[in-house]
Chain A
């Protein structure tokens, strides 16, 4: 069973500050996806990282996949109140039955205070 540990679980910061969220596992993943989820809604895909060491940037968000494809980080620069939400990482493993079922972390609940 693959487990993904996300840290921190809760984060409250002032607008304009930088932050990093971590996602760690002892398992190797085929890919890792980051989602953002609002209350009462489904997760919305932010990025998929596939290659070990890969870095992807999405405006003020920077995603990195660890060299061994076991961990990932999300860095937000100059946080804005609109960044408030639940950030979920999810690792994909080829189940052998043709699917890449996702194993999710518990999420990091981010609050950006004006």
Chain B
């Protein structure tokens, strides 16, 4: 049983560039979450998908951020015109409806550094 995978693991980019991250959830999981974690903080919720529908977005998700889950399987998170403040660990988690109050399993994360 493979867990949640994320790609790339690390990304260094220059300010103003666009970046895209990919998340592959656990295969039977229909729910997918994106979180962001900065140094010394716990992860913060960004957005949620149930199957292919994006049902919830945090206020943290500015209009430079867009997420998709086109076929209800993998998801992508794109950041346009990156800023230094976007530097963080971007975490993806998945869960299954009806699980113990939606226990979420996390991927290894993508560490973004904006220079």
Q: Which residues of B contact A41 (CB under 8 A)?
A: 108-109
Interface residue from A31, A44, A95, A105 paired with B56 (Cβ < 8 Å):
A95
Tell me the A51-96 residues at the B interface (CB within 8 Å): 88, 90, 92, 95
Residues of A within 8 A of B33 (CB): 99, 101-102
Q: Chain B residue with minimal CB distance to A107?
A: B42
Instruction: Report how far A52 CA is from B56 CA in the complex, Å.
Output: 28
A33 lies within 8 A of B103 (CB): yes
B104 engages A102 (CB within 8 Å): yes
Question: Which residues of B are found within 8 Å of A30, using beta-carbon distances?
Answer: 101-102
The total of Cβ contacts below 8 Å across the A-B interface reads 80
B106: which of A40, A43, A95 is its contact (CB, 8 Å)? A43
Q: CB-CB < 8 A to B6: which residues of A?
A: 42
CA of A88 to CA of B109, assembled, Å: 16
Which of B100, B106, B111 is A50 in contact with, Cβ under 8 Å?
B100
The bracket for how many chain B residues form the interface is 20 to 34
The dominant DSSP class at the B interface is strand
Stretch with Cβ within 8 A of A (4 or more), from B43-51, B63-71, B74-82? B43-51
Q: Which residues of A contact B4 (CB under 8 A)?
A: 42
Pair A99/B42 contact, Cβ less than 8 Å: no
The chain B residue with its CB closest to the CB of A100 is B102
User: What A residues does B41 contact at CB under 8 A?
Assistant: 104, 106
Q: Tell me the bound Cα distance from A13 to B35 in angstroms.
A: 31
A44-B106 contact in complex given A99-B50, A106-B41, C-beta closer than 8 Å: yes
**Structural contact, A106 and B42, CB atoms closer than 8 A:** yes
* 12 contacting pairs across A/B (C-beta < 8 A): A4-B42, A31-B100, A42-B6, A42-B107, A43-B91, A88-B43, A98-B50, A99-B50, A101-B48, A102-B33, A102-B35, A103-B45
